Amino acid sequence: MVAVDSGMTRFAHKLAEQSMSLRRARPEILQVNVGKLCNLTCVHCHVNAGPKRKEIMSRNTIDRIIDWLAKTNVPTVDLTGGAPEMIPDFRYFVERVKDLEPLRHVIDRCNLIILVEDGYHDLAEFLAARQVEIIASMPCYSAKNVNQQRGEGVFEGSIAALQLLNSLGYGIDPALPLHLVYNPVGEFLPSPQEELEADYKRELEKHFGIVFNQLYTITNLPIGRFAASLRHRNRLDEYMQLLIEAFNPATIEGLMCRNTISVGWRGEVYDCDFNQQLGMQWNNSDRSQMFLWDVNPDSLEDRKILTGDHCFGCTAGAGSSCGGAIT
Ligand code: SF4
Ligand code: SF4
């Protein structure tokens, strides 16, 4: 057992107890959060995104990110938000990444409903033509649960969007992967990913003729709008306790913060999108704020990851990452 410092967070304490530390491996994914603008206002949102948010990435920042990427071999660019497709330069960003050598893989984290909103009807075709992988939120295969978490009518719109994606080859053509994301509707851990995936596949195909590749189960982290909702209902401490008790050391190696660089709408850098929402930005050695263009990708291995008690959301049970369960 390692001696622990009483000033540590409970998460740091837990790692020390297990003689573990959380450090970076080689960066393989650049996850860019292009802003907080979204067409929805989901109750579980950790970004506090919504239609009135003004924080979005400018073209100048996109150009600086592309210049940085061009000097690296980071193979995957993962676009998230808000609804990333709503920023005016979303398509410009995708096109510029796709023009890079060596070729890069692009992921769009899509809330589905945006694909059937007015003004976005050609978006799905644009994504298919550029072979952009889609990772789409779909918190349940039942209308009641989806509409409760994401708003009235979202389920019906999501089904129409999935049918549109299937008609373009998404989920069928290996070059057009379509993955769905499940997150619990309340303050509990996700069910086992494989079982839930089988349920989703059966129900969506049976009732709507929809097919997709994989289901990713993601735990709700106690930050942002979800934390506010728990606090409001006096359930925050109970949920934290649930996450702490479910700590699973086998998840540590596969945590997404180990191989992902998270970038905010101004180009600032973090260990993950959750740290981003908590303002846990990287600093330069002179303590000034670090932006992506200050980062030497070859110097990141073994860099210590900034953690807090919210990290228990990623290490609970089977673990949780942008690619679903870890173990
Ligand atoms: S959870 Fe996603 S779709 Fe919902 S408000 Fe947040 S960013 Fe938008
Ligand atoms: S919240 Fe999760 S991904 Fe982010 S630093 Fe903590 S453990 Fe890593």
From ligand 2's centre to the CA of 240, what distance in Å? 15
Which residues have C-beta within 8 Å of that of residue 110, sequence separation ≥ 6?
Answer: 83, 84, 85, 134, 135, 136, 137
- Ligand with an atom nearest the CA of residue 82: 1
What's the whole-number mean pLDDT along residues 170-199? 94
Per-residue model confidence (pLDDT) at position 97: 98
The counts of H helices and E strands in the chain are: 11, 8
- Across 31-35, 66-70, 136-140, 189-193, least confident range: 136-140
Among 55, 111, 46, which residue's Cα sits nearest to residue 85?
A: 111
Among 119, 55, 58, 63, which residue's Cα sits nearest to residue 81?
A: 55
Among 122, 134, 155, 125, which residue's Cα sits nearest to residue 42?
A: 155
Q: Which amino acid residue places its CA nearest to atom 8 of ligand 2?
A: 257
pLDDT greater than 80 at residue 5: no
What's the whole-number mean pLDDT along residues 170-186? 94
Does any ligand 1 atom lie closer than 6 A to the CB of residue 69?
no
Question: Which ligand 1 atom minimizes the distance to the CA of 225?
Answer: 6
Does any ligand 2 atom lie closer than 6 A to the CB of residue 243?
no
From ligand 1's centre to the CA of 10, what distance in Å? 28
Both tokens of 226, joined, read: 């979800």
H-assigned helices in the chain: 10-17, 59-70, 90-98, 123-129, 143-150, 154-167, 193-208, 224-232, 236-245, 273-277, 312-315
Dist CA 127 CA 166 (whole Å):
13
Does any ligand 1 atom lie closer than 6 A to the CB of residue 38?
yes
Does any ligand 1 atom lie closer than 6 A to the CB of residue 243?
no
Dist CA 97 CA 272 (whole Å):
21
From ligand 1's centre to the CA of 187, what distance in Å? 17
What is the pTM assigned to this prediction? 0.95
Does any ligand 2 atom lie closer than 6 A to the CB of residue 255?
yes
Q: Which amino acid residue places its CA nearest to atom 4 of ligand 2?
A: 272
Question: Which ligand 1 atom minimizes the distance to the CA of 81?
Answer: 7
In the chain, what percentage of residues exceed pLDDT 90?
86
Residue 112 · residue 136 · CB < 8 Å: yes
Which carries the bigger pLDDT value, residue 137 or residue 46? Answer: 137
Pair type for strands 29-33 and 76-80: parallel
Pair type for strands 260-263 and 269-270: antiparallel
Q: Which amino acid residue places its CA nearest to atom 3 of ligand 2?
A: 257
